[in-house]
Structure 1
Amino acid sequence: MDTETDTLTMTSEGDIYCFYLQSEAPYLIKRWGEKKIRLAGKVFGILALLLLIALIRFYFFRDHIVFPYNMTWLFVLITIGAIIFFFLLYDQLNSVADFYIKSRCKKCGKDFAYEEFRKPLTRKVSTPESFEITRTKYRKCRYCGDEDFDTHTHYIDCKGDKEKLTDETCKRCGNEHSIKEYRRPDVFEGADTAKTIRYYKCSDCGYQEITVEKVEFLGPM
């Protein structure tokens, strides 16, 4: 925490990304080419979207659609399975095409040359007005040894509301009711958890404190 600029910086290492068809990517690109791979991915993505729309329409008009005995659930399960299957194909084929482009060495020009040689680094920077995430991948050409850094930065809107009341005692000066939340917290909500980073400051001595609150959402019993 840089108290002069009121900026919190957090860094962490992630896992090296590997998709299911990565080992088959050179063969698929050689056999079909990038454009056909991307086109096939779009086709499967459109099929997944059309099936999803059909399933939604079936839900709203299910009282007017007659299926043979015990066939309704079979239709629903098959449709959901097909949606997942087509979406996975869409994702994997696009990953193959992207991998083909990004793994070409910038120095020697060979395809499928770059490999990650260390874990990617994630850098999160929080200021009172914004929250920035920068992810850096470290790659090296397996042919000529050229090193490349793939960096992407994006901003997310995660500012929440400050707590209305705080009554904590300052750990430095010992004054009661002096710790106040002085800036908006960073709130991150996932599928089953929510994390909130709050920023407090003593109104008497200026002592600063950061807390991380994590809440897990329980599923139905």
Structure 2
Amino acid sequence: MKKNNYHNSSVNIESGNKFQGDTAIGENAQIIKNTHIVDNSKNYEVDADDVTFLKKVSPYLINNYGKEKVGIIAAISLIASIITILSLVNPVISGEKAIPFLPTIPQDYNTLVIGIFFILILIGVTFLNAVYYHSSTKCKKCNQDFAYEPFGKVKVRDIDTVDGTRRTTTKTYKCKFCGDIDKRTTNTLIEKEN
């Protein structure tokens, strides 16, 4: 890093760096317009998530049974699926069960138990996603249910760091009733493999 002659702060200048916006340079600074900063980020657009299934199922479930009941069914299904799979893998060791309060299911029923497990998981995840979809699509302005719909492309920005790739995803939603725009940004770190 190189210290400048005007302040104690320093600026790290590497190849490829450019400055953007109004920039002042020198003792008798002049404003430089329309310059750019390049930070070696990758900016691209991807298609919005396909929510066709949730768009049909969520209103049906929420309108007919209510958000609370759908959430309770989701929780019960997920807990029951965990109990089901643990019962399947609860072998008798030295005459004692690994998990004493769960039944041990005979091997003849393994296929049936695995089928029940997958059905319970499917119900739990679907109902949980229906509740989440209802909450995330309620308009903040007009308060209508199932109002926000994906609008435009999803913008993604990846910046390589020492720890991995820092990904910023910006999704835009538009209310189909009042036209309110809602931008949602998420940040994730994709860690480097050792």
> One-letter code of the match for 2:173?
R
Structure showing greater Rg: 2
Please tell me whether the aligned partners of residues 159 and 165 of structure 2 are also in contact (alpha carbons under 8 angstroms). Answer: yes
Please tell me whether the aligned partners of residues 138 and 149 of structure 1 are also in contact (alpha carbons under 8 angstroms). Answer: yes
Please tell me whether the aligned partners of residues 87 and 105 of structure 2 are also in contact (alpha carbons under 8 angstroms). Answer: no
Q: Which runs of 5+ in 1 are unaligned?
A: 161-221
1:150-193 CA-to-partner distances (Å, cap 9, x unmatched) read 22112232243xxxxxxxxxxxxxxxxxxxxxxxxxxxxxxxxx
What secondary structure does 1:95 align onto?
Answer: helix
- State the partner residue of 1:108: 142
Q: How many residues align?
A: 152
1:59-117 CA-to-partner distances (Å, cap 9, x unmatched) read 979xx9895xxxx45x1111111111111111111111111111111111111101112
Q: Which runs of 5+ in 2 are unaligned?
A: 1-14, 18-37, 98-103
- Deviation of residue 12 (structure 1)? 4.0
Tell me the percent identity.
24
What secondary structure does 1:143 align onto?
Answer: coil
- State the partner residue of 2:188: 154
Which of 52, 56, 59 aligns to 2:89? It is: 56
Which of 27, 34, 37 aligns to 2:60? It is: 27
Residues 56/12 of structure 1: CA separation in 2 closer, same or farther (3 Å cut)? farther
Which of 36, 39, 43 aligns to 2:69? It is: 36
Give the Cα separation in 1 of the matches to 2:105 and 2:120: 26
Which of 165, 170, 174 aligns to 1:136? It is: 170
- Deviation of residue 30 (structure 1)? 2.2
Query: What is the CA RMSD across the aligned residues, in angstroms?
Result: 2.8
- State the partner residue of 1:118: 152
Larger RCO, structure (CA 8 Å, separation 6 or more): 2
> One-letter code of the match for 1:140?
K
User: Which shifted more, 97-106 or 125-134?
Assistant: 125-134
Q: TM-score, normalised by structure 2?
A: 0.66
User: Which shifted more, 3-12 or 143-152?
Assistant: 3-12
Give the Cα separation in 2 of the matches to 1:20 and 1:58: 39
> One-letter code of the match for 2:136?
K
Give the Cα separation in 2 of the matches to 1:25 and 1:115: 14
1:2-53 CA-to-partner distances (Å, cap 9, x unmatched) read 8448744353414423163431322321222222211110100001111111
> One-letter code of the match for 1:79?
V
- State the partner residue of 1:94: 128
- State the partner residue of 2:114: 80
Give the Cα separation in 2 of the matches to 1:87 and 1:60: 28
Give the Cα separation in 1 of the matches to 2:181 and 2:158: 24
